[in-house]
Amino acid sequence: MKRIFFFLSLLPCLATAQTDTAYSVQQGSNFFLVQRTTQANGSYAETSQLIGDLEQFADYTEGAMVRRASALAQAATEVLKADRLWTTIIQQDNGFQAAYNVSPLTEVQMQYDSTFLMDTWQLEQPGVSPIPIVFSRNAQSKLRATWGGGTAKAAYLVGATMRISAFNAAGPMNLYQISPALWCDADRVVFLRRTAQNWTPWRPEIR
């Protein structure tokens, strides 16, 4: 007998090309946790872990809830500190560049910004129609974002996080990658959505 429980929501959610799911399988009086990792090309691998009898399965489930809730609380704490963190990162980068004429922040950005430079993106905000948002690099290779006929805004990109300076009257906007084609703020109010993919990331061929 195979049952898909809430383990799907208890697994870490990462912005990668793979998806992870988990479900329980009961064989006699024992329960097994099966984890499946599916790659972008459809191939997948499964691993099975013996949990034990019903009582042990219930204990495992309770523990999984506690672990994920704790991880959520820690993540929320980090998000609440995002403005202070970004301020520190930018200040450190400015100091490093002034001293050595090298921008570590720009070097990191250039490892992740290909999709923004080559693909087509739109900006979605409450109460207004989606509008195109265009990303470019300035003469110093720093990322910039332009939309709605406005001036180019500095966009700091580190992995799955982005900060757009002077986003609106309230100040900068912090965005987080939900999937390769979707970013949003912590309140899920402002979205960056990829509407056309023109750049294909290189992936090793699987034989």
77 CB-near residues (< 8 Å, 6+ apart): none
Q: Which helix (H) or strand (E) holds 94?
A: helix 82-100
- pLDDT one-digit tens code per residue, 147-200: 999 999 999 999 999 999 999 999 999 999 999 999 999 999 999 999 999 987
Domain-wise residue ranges, the chain: 2-80, 96-196
Confidence band for 16, pLDDT divided at 50, 70 and 90: very low
Task: Write down the pTM of the prediction.
Answer: 0.72
- Please check whether the two domains, 2-80 and 96-196, share a CATH topology: no
CA of residue 207 relative to chain centroid, distance:
29
- The CATH T-level fold of domain 96-196 is Lipocalin (2.40.128)
Please tell me what DSSP assigns to residue 126: T
Note the maximum CA span of the chain.
67
Q: Which CATH number fits domain 2-80: 3.40.50, 1.20.1250, 1.10.3470, 3.10.450?
A: 3.10.450
Tens-digit pLDDT profile for residues 91-150: 999 999 999 999 999 999 999 999 999 999 999 999 999 999 999 999 999 999 999 999
